[in-house]
């Protein structure tokens, strides 16, 4: 673990920051020592970008303090414990229990899937945490393996990162029109912009249950469009490894939230499996508790979502299914309806989602923060073609969500190289990125990320700073050792970009974790149209050539809405 920037700092007169444990969209988590009580703690520090406006910085501070209040109010053995909240020099810090051990995502990456029994015990722990949170009106909204910590030696599962949680009746400190969460683990009703409740967290738990025994989400695809299609429209075909847990999986991954099993029923099924090794079926005619309330709350939600037949219950799916039969037994389709009509409605639901439904500001946004590929506004002729994410079904040519890829031509801009696409970003710029890269947003940057999460293209638009691009890059480089463990070979060079003064910062560093390994980063900043743009690519050192190619392509094709 790196100690850069930590070992000499003491906050609130008692918490000595010792080693960096991790870094996320809102800041850095440190291993620290409470020098008053003589115990180790974890301290989450909000790191604000100096280019943020005073109002933006204030909102981020309020959001972090809100997270602390939410977590402190949910007391459960499987929810991270908040010890203290301090503010020093206007910077908030959350002091939490330290969990020695990595996340479930780390476990799956290093050791592979767990057994069905282990997965059932894990999800039982998380069900308890969710029931405690839901009882206080708190929805987590981002349940995924990366947000589940596993304590070394005990394997105690701890739910963490309530940064985008929602409290019933509370005003959210998030961006208008944005969608938050991790798309592979997000419930279809959230994708479609419908009102959500505890059942949306239960869908995410069902996806996590599958991921624990297979190594990845059943909705994993190579593009955002593919993920959307899989979550909202594709037949759900649980892998054969999920067979022992099938009743719970089918009950939790019921696309209609009104028909999805609730926490009590999920707990009954998983507990029975842990105790007996066999999971019972969902009772015939099962209706989740308060289903009438669910229906009333979602009266305006898009209807006809695919899932179980209208006259079926989760118990209609066999409770014991062979591996061979699993591949032949997707979630049943609705009888007596034409698939074309349902597909059209689902396409509409996807359009609703892409048009900016939902709320929040975190890793993933759909429109007004979406990676969509609409042709840029221009009087010059352009050639476009459409692609459809591949469906796992066959025989019925029902339409899926359409992604438009733009091949510029006739306007003087470089042609998009093979394997790339133009991303017309909602932040007001466009650029070419590899086709499989997925958009994420961690304020104040927008990222386009490779499927293996190892290569990242980052773009930031801010107000110009005194001294221009060179001053901005020199300031960033001066902080390089603090923000980038193992920082070395850093250099800032004055250059130009499309005739405008620019500054290039290039450096090598060790990544935030030992597993991440040595990385190389290229970063160019320039001013255009009254804004300062910053484009960088970071990749493993062994993929330095690939990173340079993506960097050059991004800069060659970069355009600002209303300008070049």
Which domains can be identified in the chain, with CATH numbers?
A: 9-96 (3.30.200.20), 104-288+302-310+339-354 (1.10.510.10), 371-560 (3.40.1000.10)
Q: Which residues in 175-307 belong to E strands, given as ranges?
A: none
- List, in order, residues 6 or more apart from 336 with CB less than 8 Å away: none
| Predicted local confidence at residue 285, as pLDDT | 66
| Predicted local confidence at residue 169, as pLDDT | 42
CB-CB neighbours of 267 under 10 Å: 17
**H or E element: which one contains 423?**
strand 420-425
| Predicted local confidence at residue 375, as pLDDT | 31
- Give the CA diameter of the chain: 71
What are the percentages of helix, strand and coil residues in the chain, rounded to 5?
Answer: 30, 25, 45
Q: How is 370-382 classified by DSSP, letter by letter?
A: -EE-PPPP-SS-E
| Predicted local confidence at residue 7, as pLDDT | 57
Question: Which residue in the block uniquely carries the two structure tokens 């998030």?
Answer: 174
- List, in order, residues 6 or more apart from 357 with CB less than 8 Å away: 177, 179, 192, 193, 194, 366
How far is CA 74 from its chain centroid?
A: 23
| Predicted local confidence at residue 48, as pLDDT | 66
Find out whether 522 and 459 touch, Cβ atoms under 8 Å: no
| Predicted local confidence at residue 515, as pLDDT | 73
Compute, in degrees rounded to 10, the torsion defined by CA atoms 361, 262, 227, 540. Answer: 60
* Closest C-alpha to 258, from 308, 210, 220: 308
Number of alpha helices (DSSP H) and beta strands (DSSP E) in the chain: 14, 23
| Predicted local confidence at residue 262, as pLDDT | 94
* Closest C-alpha to 306, from 224, 203, 234, 207: 234
Predicted TM-score of the model (pTM): 0.54
Mean pLDDT by 10 residues, the chain (564 residues): 57 91 73 94 78 76 75 85 85 87 90 95 94 86 90 89 54 40 86 80 96 93 85 86 94 92 95 94 70 38 30 32 33 38 42 38 30 32 32 31 35 72 88 89 83 89 92 92 89 91 94 82 94 94 92 92 58
| Predicted local confidence at residue 57, as pLDDT | 76
| Predicted local confidence at residue 203, as pLDDT | 96
CA contacts within 13 A on the Cβ side of 531? 17
| Predicted local confidence at residue 14, as pLDDT | 94
How far is CA 48 from its chain centroid?
A: 20
What is the spatial distance between Cα 481 and Cα 470, in angstroms, rounded to a whole number?
18
**H or E element: which one contains 494?**
strand 488-497
Which two tokens mark 43? Answer: 């301290």
Catalytic residue among 49, 106, 142, 552: 142
142 part of the active site: yes
How do residues 334-359 score in pLDDT, each as one tens digit? 333 333 334 434 443 444 444 333 33
> Is the sign of the CA dihedral 111, 512, 449, 428 positive or negative?
positive
């Amino acid at each position: 673990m790196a100690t850069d920037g930590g070992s000499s700092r003491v906050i609130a007169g008692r918490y000595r920051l010792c080693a960096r444990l991790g870094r996320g969209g809102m800041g850095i988590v440190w291993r620290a020592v409470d020098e008053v009580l003589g115990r180790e703690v974890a301290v989450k520090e909000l790191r604000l970008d100096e280019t943020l406006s005073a109002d933006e910085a204030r909102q981020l501070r309020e959001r972090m303090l809100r997270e602390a209040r939410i977590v402190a109010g949910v007391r459960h053995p499987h929810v991270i414990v908040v010890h203290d909240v301090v503010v020093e020099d206007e910077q908030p810090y959350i002091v939490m229990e330290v969990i020695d051990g990595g996340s479930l995502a780390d476990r799956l990456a290093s050791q592979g899937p767990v057994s069905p029994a282990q997965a059932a015990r894990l999800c039982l722990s998380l069900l308890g945490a969710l029931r405690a949170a839901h009882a206080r009106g708190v929805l987590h909204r981002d349940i995924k393996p990366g947000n589940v910590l596993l304590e070394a030696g005990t394997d105690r599962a701890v739910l963490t990162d309530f940064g985008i949680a929602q409290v019933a009746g509370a005003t959210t400190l998030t961006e208008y029109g944005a969608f938050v969460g991790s798309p592979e683990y997000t419930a279809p009703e959230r994708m479609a912009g419908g009102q959500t409740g505890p059942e949306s967290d239960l869908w995410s738990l069902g996806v996590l249950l599958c991921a624990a025994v297979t190594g990845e989400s059943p909705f994993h695809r190579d593009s955002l469009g593919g993920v959307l299609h899989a979550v909202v429209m594709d037949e759900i075909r649980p892998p054969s490894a999920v067979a022992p847990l099938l009743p719970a999986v089918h009950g939790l991954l019921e696309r209609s939230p009104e028909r999805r099993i609730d926490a009590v029923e999920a707990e009954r099924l998983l507990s029975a499996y842990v105790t007996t090794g066999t999971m019972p079926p969902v009772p015939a005619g099962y209706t989740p508790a308060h289903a009438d309330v669910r229906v009333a709350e979602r009266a305006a939600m898009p209807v006809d979502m695919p899932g179980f037949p209208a006259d079926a219950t989760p118990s209609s799916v066999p409770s014991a299914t062979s591996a061979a039969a699993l591949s032949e037994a997707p979630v049943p389709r609705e009888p007596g309806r034409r698939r074309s009509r349902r597909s059209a409605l689902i396409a509409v639901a996807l359009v609703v989602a892409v048009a900016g439904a939902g709320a929040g500001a975190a890793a993933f946004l759909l429109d007004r923060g979406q990676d969509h590929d609409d042709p840029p506004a221009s009087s010059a002729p352009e050639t476009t073609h459409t692609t459809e994410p591949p469906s796992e079904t066959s025989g019925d040519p029902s339409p899926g969500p359409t992604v438009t890829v733009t091949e510029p031509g006739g306007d003087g801009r470089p042609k998009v190289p093979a394997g790339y696409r133009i991303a017309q970003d909602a932040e007001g710029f466009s650029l070419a990125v590899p086709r499989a890269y997925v958009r994420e947003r961690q304020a104040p940057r927008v990222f386009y990320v490779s499927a293996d999460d190892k290569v990242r293209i980052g773009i930031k638009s801010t107000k110009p700073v005194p001294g221009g691009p060179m001053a901005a890059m020199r300031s960033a480089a001066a902080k390089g050792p603090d923000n980038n463990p193992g920082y070395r070979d850093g250099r800032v060079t004055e250059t130009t970009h499309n005739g405008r003064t620019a500054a290039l910062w290039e450096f090598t560093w060790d990544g935030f974790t030992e597993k991440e390994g040595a990385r190389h980063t290229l970063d160019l900043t320039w001013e255009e149209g009254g804004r300062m743009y910053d484009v960088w690519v970071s990749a493993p050192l062994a993929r330095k050539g690939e990173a340079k190619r993506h960097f050059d392509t991004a800069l060659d094709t970069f355009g600002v809405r209303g300008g070049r």
